[in-house]
Amino acid sequence: MTSLSLRDRLVREAYLTRFSWAVQDHPHDHALVRDVRREVTATADQIGMRAAVAGLGHPRVLAEGYLAELGRRTPRWATGGVWAGLAVGALVYLALAYTLGTLDTLLDLGGGTLTRTTLGATTQYTATADALGVETSLSWQWLLLGAGVSAVAFALGSRAWRVWTPA
């Protein structure tokens, strides 16, 4: 059996990475990636890897071809996961920005300690010339907010309603 050069492997895997992302909506996406890998490897044996990959066209167009043949639209779970991650990241960023802003204001006012209770969680901000600190506790309301925001982002990002699209 002819073994592939490192360069050919890189060309093939770069293409398949883009294809696997684009075809994630397909219920058998892993099998498709495996099939395309086998086909392109076998074809490369005859015409070379670059020509074999070129024959497949753009990975997104190839993925759209497979999805079109499916005859229905399917959820994009991986995209939903990314959206949920970004939403939680945005919440964390906002909390950090608020915390740093509060500490900065405390320092500008001459330093001291401030206690605030939001959504059932009590947070103590300390900012003096010697110490800078934040102490907080978790509350079920915050957990609910985080879960709600990530769930909504996941549902929107993944187009979860497509689960109910008739086949």
Partner 1 sequence: MDDDRDPQLLKGVLPMLVLAALRQGESYGYELVTRLQDAGLTELAAGTLYPVLNRLEREGRVSSRLVASPSGPARKYYLPTEAGTTELARAQRSWLRLAATVARVLDTATPTDPDAAPAPPTDDHRRTP
Q: Does 2 bind partner 1 (CB under 8 A)?
A: yes
| Shorter beta-carbon distance to partner 1: residue 62 or 103 | 62
> Per-residue contact track with partner 1, 26 to 65, x per CB under 8 A?
------x--xx-xx-xxx-xxx----x--xxx---xx--x
| Shorter beta-carbon distance to partner 1: residue 49 or 127 | 49
Give me the DSSP letters along 15-52: HHHHHHHHTTTSTTHHHHHHHHHHHHHHHHHHH-HHHH
Residue of 1, 131, 163, 167 interacting with partner 1 (CB under 8 A)? 1
- Least distance (Å) between residue 76 CB and partner 1: 18
Q: Is the dihedral of CA 98, 104, 110, 111 positive or negative?
A: positive
Q: Does 135 bind partner 1 (CB under 8 A)?
A: no
CA 64 to chain centre: 21
Distance from C-alpha of 70 to C-alpha of 94, rounded to nearest angstrom: 41
Question: Three-state DSSP class for 115?
Answer: strand
| Shorter beta-carbon distance to partner 1: residue 45 or 104 | 45
Angle at 92 (CA atoms; ends 94, 130), nearest 5 degrees = 80
Other residues' Cβ atoms within 10 Å of the Cβ of residue 68: 9
- Least distance (Å) between residue 62 CB and partner 1: 5
Residues numbered 67 to 86 that lie near partner 1 (CB under 8 A) are: 68-70
CA 9 to chain centre: 26
| Shorter beta-carbon distance to partner 1: residue 131 or 167 | 167
Interface residues with partner 1 (CB under 8 A) are: 1-2, 32, 35-36, 38-39, 41-43, 45-47, 52, 55-57, 61-62, 65-66, 68-70
